[in-house]
Copies of this chain bind each other. A is one copy, B any other.
Amino acid sequence: MIPAIAIGARVRKSPYFNKTLEEGVTSFSTYNHMYMPTGYGDPEAEYDRLINGVAMWDVAVERQVCLKGPDARDLVRYMVTRDLGALETGQGRYVPLCDHRGTLINDPVLLPVSEDEYWLSIADSDILLWSRAIAAERGMNVTIYEPDVSPLAIQGPKAVDVVSDLFGEWVRDLKYFGHRETRLDGIPMHVARSGWSKQGGFELYLQDGLRGGELWDIVKEAGKPYGIGPGSPNYVERLESGLLSYGADTDDSTNPYEVGLGKFVSLEREDAYIGKEALARIRDEGIARRFVGYLIGGEPFPVGNQHRWPVRHGETHIGFVSASAWSPRVRSNIGVGLVSTEFAEPGTVVTVAAEQADIPATVSKLPFDIPA
C-alpha cells in the first residue's frame, strides 16, 4: 500500500488546490510548506503534453519573497552572486543565492517589479527568514514579506498559442524571464515567460489567491483547442534537460561551481555580496565534485529512485545519483547527480548501486543528447 499524504492545516494549500483534486491529482509532495501536485495518474500522457503539446501546472509552491523599499535594490545586489547590471524593471533573471560560506541555499528567479520592489520566486528553503535576518542585521530600510502571489505554469510548445489567445500577441515578444503586469477578466497577475522545463512556456503570477479556481478554469478553457491537460514539474523532462533541483541534487556543502552555475557568480564585481570571499577561495582551490548526467543500462525503470543511489568506480565510492528515470526520448534510463571531478568526463564508465542491483552506467554531459 502506498502511504497517503496527510492533509491538514499546517501545510498550506495552493489557490488551485481544489481544482487539482477535481482534475484527479494522484500524488502530492510538499515544497515551501505547501502541497505540490506531482502527478495525475498518467505519467506518459503528462510527459507527452509537455513535450508535444501544452500542460498546466499548479506551481503556487514557487512562493515569492518580496523585497520592497528604499534599500530593496541594494539588498538584492548584496544577496545575489551575479552582476545584475542595470536591473531593468520587467526583465527577470535566474539568481542563485549563496550563504556566507559560498554554499548554494536557493536558486530563485528574480522579478524586478519596480524600482523599489523585487520578487524572488524561490525554490524550497526559507529565504524569507534568511533575507530578513540579513536586512535587519545591516539596518537596511526594506520591508520583506510573502505577497499573495501564486504562479500557474503553462508549459510546452503550444503554450505560447494558449497564452497569446488569452492575453494578445504581445506575449510572443517577451524575452525569457520577461514579465508584465496585466489582468485577465479583472484578475490581477504578472505574466512571465518562464517555467521549470526546457519546452518553453509561461507562468501566470496570480495576485489574488481567492481567484485561483477561476483562473484555472479560464486557462483550461483557452487550452482546449490545443489539448491542454494537467501536469506538474516533470521528473523525466527535467532530467533530460539537466535542470538542477535544489534540495534533490544539492546538499549542505554544494557550491555553484559544482552544479554548473559558476557563470552566475561574478568575482569581478567591485561591490561586496554574500559569499564573495568564500566563492573566490572555492574557485581558486578548484572543485572536487561536478553535476553530471548518467546513462544507466538495463530494462526501463518503472519508477524513479526513492533514495540517492551511490555511484562507484571499481570499489571506490565516487558520487551519487540523485534522481533517475526512463527517458523515452534518450531511449535509455538516465539520471543526474554529483560525481568526483576526476570521473566527471563524459564517457566514463561507472557503477550505479541501485536498490535492486548494481547497474553499469556512463557519465554524460547535460543536457542529454536527444536523438532526432
Contacts and interface: CB of A to CB of B under 8 A. Distances in A.
Interface of A: 1-11, 13, 21, 25-30, 33, 38-39, 99-101, 105, 124-130, 132-134, 136-138, 145-146, 235, 245, 247-248, 252, 274, 304-308, 322-323
A1 B323 CA distance: 27
Contact of A29 (B10, B25, B26): B10
Given A3-B26, A27-B4, A33-B124, A10 B247 contact: yes
Copies per complex of this chain: 2
B126 A9 contact: no
A29 B39 CA distance: 17
A27 B8 contact: no
The 9 closest A-B pairs by CB, nearest first: A10-B248, A100-B136, A126-B126, A137-B137, A133-B133, A6-B38, A6-B29, A4-B27, A5-B5
B146 A10 contact: no
Given A130-B126, A134-B133, A4 B5 contact: yes
A132 B100 contact: yes
6 contacts: A2-B4, A8-B305, A9-B306, A9-B307, A10-B29, A127-B129
Contacts of A322: 9
Given A26-B1, A134-B133, A137-B137, A247 B125 contact: no
Given A2-B5, A8-B29, A137-B137, 12 more contacts: A4-B26, A8-B323, A9-B308, A11-B29, A11-B30, A99-B129, A99-B133, A100-B136, A100-B137, A130-B133, A133-B134, A136-B274
Residue among A1, A8, A245, A322 with max Cβ neighbours from chain B (10 Å): A8
